[in-house]
Amino acid sequence: MFLALPSEAPAQSLYQKYIKQQQKEILKAPSEKPEMPGDENGMPETLRMPAMPLMEFRAKDIIGMFPLAPADTSSPRATLDSFLDIMEETNHLIQEAYEENTGMGAFSMETLGMSKNHERLQNKIHLAEILLERARGCFDLSGLPSATRQQTSLELVLQLKEILDRIPLPPFPDIPGTAAGTYDFNQAGLENSWTIPFTQIVITKMTEGPQQGEYVFSAQTVDRIPEFYEEVKNLPSRSSIPQDLYHFFASSPGHLLPPAWFSLIESQPSWLLELYYGQAVWQWFALILITAIAAAILFAFINVMRRLPDRKKPVRRQVLSIITSSVIVGSLIFLRYLADYQINIGGPVLQVYDLTIETLVWIGAAVIIYKSLRLLSELVLLKNRGAPSIDRSIIRTATQFFAIICALVLLTYGATRLNIPLYGIIAGISVGGLAIALAAQPTLENLLGGLILYADGIVRVGDYCEFNKIRGHVESIGMRSTRIRTTDRTLVTIPNADLAKMNFMNFTAKDHFRVVLRFALKYDTSAEQLERLITKIKRMLAKHPLSQPDAAKVRLENIDENGIVIQIEDSVQAATRDEYLAIQESIIIRTLKLISDENIEVAHPFVTNYGETGNLQMPEKTVVPPVKPKPKAKAETKKEPKAKTPKKKKERKKAKKA
């Protein structure tokens, strides 16, 4: 095995030689150091290494001594050599671990009295994962979505390994660059790209990004690897392990190391392991089954949550919505884990399935953020519901706006995970925002109208106002409209844009309320009684604690058909309309008591007749005799001649002939 470490002394001495040589070159005087190469190769300063005779190590030696060292991508030869050595060692590790875990390998170990060492198997798989991560470093993966890059790149690495094992490769000395293990990024005379002869597999030099200056398999090559694999998969392999590593990985469950129960599937008919669109037949069955079960469970859970009582309460509604969204997101993540790491789906199905789940997860996360912020506002309102200084409508609207912004930011980040360019997202949002602004102009006008109402402070929740002859209390001020509850409990909705333009009266904003009352007294009230009554009413108003000084006026206004009219005017201090009505009620009751104390009667609101004796006489009712309706004349009916029947016509014709 390539990864079997050499003896400790040779490895240590080799490493010490390397370190000493590096120290000598670093400690040289500047005049003794060789000059740096020019810029003809476009090598950035950050990637240049000192021009010194670096020791050439084989890739397998580097793997054994430096487990964290990346693949050597300093030249086309180094990239190809590193990739082949890494994948050959990875193939050995995976096959040995699988044979020890299941099959004849496990049987032979049990026969020899050696039980399976789980820790040893996990170490081999862990080392294989490290090697595969290095192999990914030989690829330009910028064209793959971040959401599926890890799993998709693993399949591409395995497919390229099988491709290179089945096509003729040129001798390594003929490939441009030094051998793998030098990590010499200062090589002169290298072209920016190199193509494997008689293929379309290109190794190109990266000019930007985190891999700048490295030679990797180009993005176009990475995109066409599945196509190349389908063309050569039936050709014989030069590998020491004849089994197709990609087919083994794609048709088996688990991650790299299939579980022991996979041997049961292998013992079934071979058609269960045949690949269709990158999936084995048994994987299609398992994927459909777990998706259907998850959908049924989520559907039942959502129905149960909808039937819970008290969903109309704001706090309870938000809590239940957050729980439902969290369960859905968690179920989708678990479903993706089962599909990716247990069933081990791959190919185009992996991209469609994972991208769909990833999209739903980010949407669900945005909904959770939105609902959580709304719940926070409801809890604040619930805690401070008795505080008059808190405007509940403003808090709800501001929190809703902030929650929408946070949800949009989260969705934007999720879109970048789906490999949607950020600049494209911003441009799309700008164009979409312009289109929405044109299409939703009335809605935006209402939103701006609501902001104007908030900024001016001309109306607040709870105010008693009159809008176009509609009086009532302002119940809520939303982002689009304002709701008013009238005195007859009717709910009236007025758009904020119209409300900001119209003239309305806010009675709650009045600093004083004017009380105007009229009392009609009977004609038999004497002048002395009127004088005493007016004087007592003035004293009563002057002593009232909420009456404005010098604002009370009591006058004999008129004598009309109803009686002798006394007008009372006053200005009282009241913060709300309810307080004003209570003060007015108090003044009316006190005035009626004063009228009663003077033995004066209030005139009735209908005409009264006074006889000579001064007693009240009710008007006489005139009885109108009923008029009998005239009988209707009978309509004259004309007798129409009877129609002659066909029989009589025939008899007459016979009589004429006779």
Residue 219 has a pLDDT of 93
Please state, rounded to an integer, the average pLDDT across all residues of the chain.
76
Residue with tokens 């600049």: 423
More confident residue, 577 or 89: 89
Two structure tokens written together for 270: 């071979």
Phi, psi angles (nearest 5°) of residue 412: -65, -45
The DSSP string of 221-251 is HHHHHHHHHHHHTTSPP-SSS-S-HHHHHHH
Residue 534 has pLDDT above 80, yes or no: yes
Q: Is the pLDDT of residue 649 over 60?
A: no
Backbone angles phi, psi at 447, to 5 degrees: -65, -45
Measured at the CA of 119, the angle between CA 118 and CA 120, to 5 degrees, comes to 90
Range scoring the smallest mean pLDDT among 65-69, 167-171, 291-295, 370-374: 65-69
Average pLDDT of the residues in 97-112:
58
What spatial distance separates the first Cα and last Cα of the chain, rounded to whole Å?
A: 139
Q: Quick one: CATH architecture of 448-506?
A: Roll (2.30)
pLDDT band at 169 (very low <50, low <70, confident <90, very high): very high
Helix/strand/coil for 321: helix
For the segment 391-440, what is each residue's pLDDT rounded down to a tens digit?
A: 566 677 778 888 888 888 888 888 877 777 665 666 666 666 666 666 65
What integer pLDDT is reported at residue 193 of this predicted model? 93
Q: What are 223-260's pLDDT values in tens digits?
A: 999 999 999 988 998 888 878 888 888 888 877 788 77
Of 35 and 501, which is predicted with more confidence?
501
The predicted structure's pLDDT at residue 296: 94
H or E element that contains 102: none
Look at residue 9 in the predicted model and tell me its pLDDT: 40
User: Of 451-455, 493-497, 535-539, 618-622, which range is least confident?
Assistant: 618-622
Residue 214: other Cβ atoms inside 10 A: 23
Average pLDDT, stretch 603-620? Answer: 51
Q: Is the pLDDT of residue 473 over 80?
A: yes
C-alpha 78/C-alpha 59 separation (Å) is 9
* Closest listed residue to residue 78, CA positions, set 168, 4, 186: 186
Mean pLDDT value across residues 371-378: 85
Using alpha carbons only, give the angle 407, 412, 418 rounded to the nearest 5 degrees. Answer: 125
Comparing 118 with 357, the larger pLDDT belongs to 357
SS (H, E, C) 154-197: HHHHHHHHHHHCCCCCCCHHHCCCCCCCCCCCCCCCCCCEEECC
What was the pLDDT predicted at 631?
54
pLDDT of residue 327: 93
Domain 512-609, CATH class in plain words = alpha beta
More confident residue, 517 or 442: 517
Q: Do 212 and 206 contact (CB within 8 A), yes or no?
A: yes
